[in-house]
Amino acid sequence: MYPIFGRYSDSYKPHYKREAWFNSEKFFEEKRYLDSYEAFLNYLRDDDLDNVHFRREKDEIKFELFQGSKTVKGQISNGKILAESVIAEFEKPAVSFMRKLMELNFTLFYNRFALKDNFIYLKFDSAIKDGHPRKLYYALKELATKADKQDDVLAESFSVLKIIKNSEISQIPEKEAKIKYKYFRKWINDALEKVSKLNEDSFSGGISYILLNTIYKIDYLITPEGTIMNEIEKASWQYFAQDNRPYVEKNREIKNILEKFLNTSEQKVIKDLTRSKPTFGILTPAPHETLIDTINKNIGNVKYHLDNNMPEIALNVTEYIVSYSLFSYALPKADVELLHIAMNIINQDYFAELGYGEVLYDLRKNSFNERKIKKEISKVIERNRNEYPLLNFNTDNLTYNSILEFARSYLNELAKLNFTK
């Protein structure tokens, strides 16, 4: 089995899943509520992942869905929708974590934390007549994603809580975990070494590209869960927060997080390298134009750093465009697949060590497998042409002089793609 890269997205469903959604809305308007919810659960279910189970009997539906470390269980009957996920167990109530749960309740739109029989639950309920599929989608998404995230957050803050992991989680194979841990440390050490040679005031922009690219690359290629994922999200959010703080200060914060990662034991890092069944994506759906905008905003900085004899930073800018886009947005599948090819080529040593497909670029010889690269691009275009008939990638415009020149030419062609339906 090949390694899994990046974060799950449920934004671009196949045609028959979209049909299930339309039926769900149609049946709801016709007051065929159980038919509506059955179609809705079929829409949610990813058939490859087997991430949603449900059973309809007479006048009720029972269901369960998986999200990372959590299982959400629900029942639709007697005019009500009920859903919940158990978060943690405790021996006796404590003011500290109960206060935290009350604070969290004020941040939720559809759900609430509740206590029952020494367990903490996240719960949702609604009258069926008020449970339109669109509302139910966002309610269950909030329930599932918050339950999956908050168990790790609460565990870090309150040692009295015993966190409940009740979903189908598996550790990745030991060999893959060792390779990922090796590159996890390598990329961090490389980044910290590069920025240590730069004046943090004069080169704050270049330092930002190096540090941000490192955390986004770890997120996509290593795909950690738990504490590491939360720290990466926090680092990104703090950097782009509109708080008027100088970027020098923000760069220091990311450096501190990366140094904290280096001081984390191998056992703890590998513990965060798991595989699970998601139902909801956490990325913001975005059209191809968002990728074009990201390329156009940053590609000029490649030339700037080349003109100033800083090719290392220039390469980090190109990779940042790719890694940032994969971290921040749920782009169309064709975009994700084409960006993945770029990540593969730029990090070919990592992919080769994982045993992932044919070699696209030989780092030692600075040699590209042009035939294979064109073939991989062609496969992506053909797979997605039914959805986007005008999709075409002009591989004749790619430059193979160096990894940097290839990356620049590749991004330029990505910006020209036509995603008209």
Q: What's the mean pLDDT in 253-264?
A: 97
Q: What is the pLDDT of residues 363-404, one digit of tens each?
A: 888 899 999 999 999 999 999 999 899 999 999 999 999 999
Spatial contact of 352 and 306, defined as CB atoms under 8 Å apart: no
Per-residue pLDDT band at 211 (split at 50, 70, 90) = very high
130-138 contacts, C-beta under 8 A, 24 or more apart: 131/33, 131/37, 131/81, 132/25, 132/28, 133/21, 133/24, 133/25, 133/28, 133/36, 133/37, 133/40, 134/25, 135/110, 136/37, 136/40, 136/81, 137/40, 137/44, 138/109, 138/110
pLDDT at 3 (0 to 100)? 57
Q: What percent of the chain has pLDDT over 70?
A: 99
Three-class secondary structure assignment of the chain: CCCCCCCCCCCCCCHHHHHHHHHHHHHHHCCCHHHHHHHHHHHHCCCCCCCEEEEEECCEEEEEEEECCEEEEEEEECCEEEEEEEEEECCCCCHHHHHHHHHHHCCCCCCEEEEECCEEEEEEEEEHHHCCHHHHHHHHHHHHHHHHHHHHHHHHHCCCCEECCCCCCEECCHHHHHHHHHHHHHHHHHHHHHHHCCCCCCCHHHHHHHHHHHHHHHHHHHCCCHHHHHHHHHHHHHHHCCCCCCHHHHHHHHHHHHHHHHCCCHHHHHHCCEECCCCCCCCEECCHHHHHHHHHHHHHHHHHHHHCCCHHHHHHHHHHHHHHHHHHEECCHHHHHHHHHHHHHHCHHHHHHHCCCCCCEECCCCEECHHHHHHHHHHHHHHHCCCCCCCCCCHHHCCCCCHHHHHHHHHHHHCCCCCCC
Q: Which amino acid is at 157?
A: S
> What does the block give as tokens for 85?
């996920």
CB 97 within 8 A of CB 160: yes
In order of start, what are the domains of the chain with their CATH numbers? Answer: 15-163 (3.30.1460.10), 172-414 (no CATH)
Amino acid (one-letter) located at 70: K
Tokens 């690219």 found at? 213
pLDDT of residue 303: 94
Is-contact 271 69, C-beta < 8 A? Answer: no
Confidence of residue 2 (pLDDT cuts 50, 70, 90): very low
pLDDT tens sequence across 29-41:
999 999 999 999 9
What number of CA atoms fall less than 13 Å from residue 249's CA on the CB side? 7
Q: What is the pLDDT of residue 133?
A: 97
pLDDT by residue (tens digit) across 126-143?
A: 999 999 999 999 999 999
Report pLDDT for 151.
80
How much is the pLDDT for 22? Answer: 97
Task: Decide if pLDDT at 207 tops 50.
Answer: yes
pLDDT digits (tens, 9 = 90+) for 80-117: 999 999 999 999 988 999 999 999 999 999 999 999 99
pLDDT digits (tens, 9 = 90+) for 290-332: 999 999 999 999 999 999 999 999 999 999 999 999 999 999 9
Question: How is residue 191 written in tokens?
Answer: 């980044």
Stated pTM of the model = 0.92
- pLDDT band at 13, cuts 50/70/90? confident
Which pLDDT does position 198 carry in this prediction?
95
**Average pLDDT across the chain, whole number:** 94
Q: Is the pLDDT score of 144 beyond 80?
A: yes
pLDDT of residue 1: 37
Contact 330, 287 (CB under 8 A): no
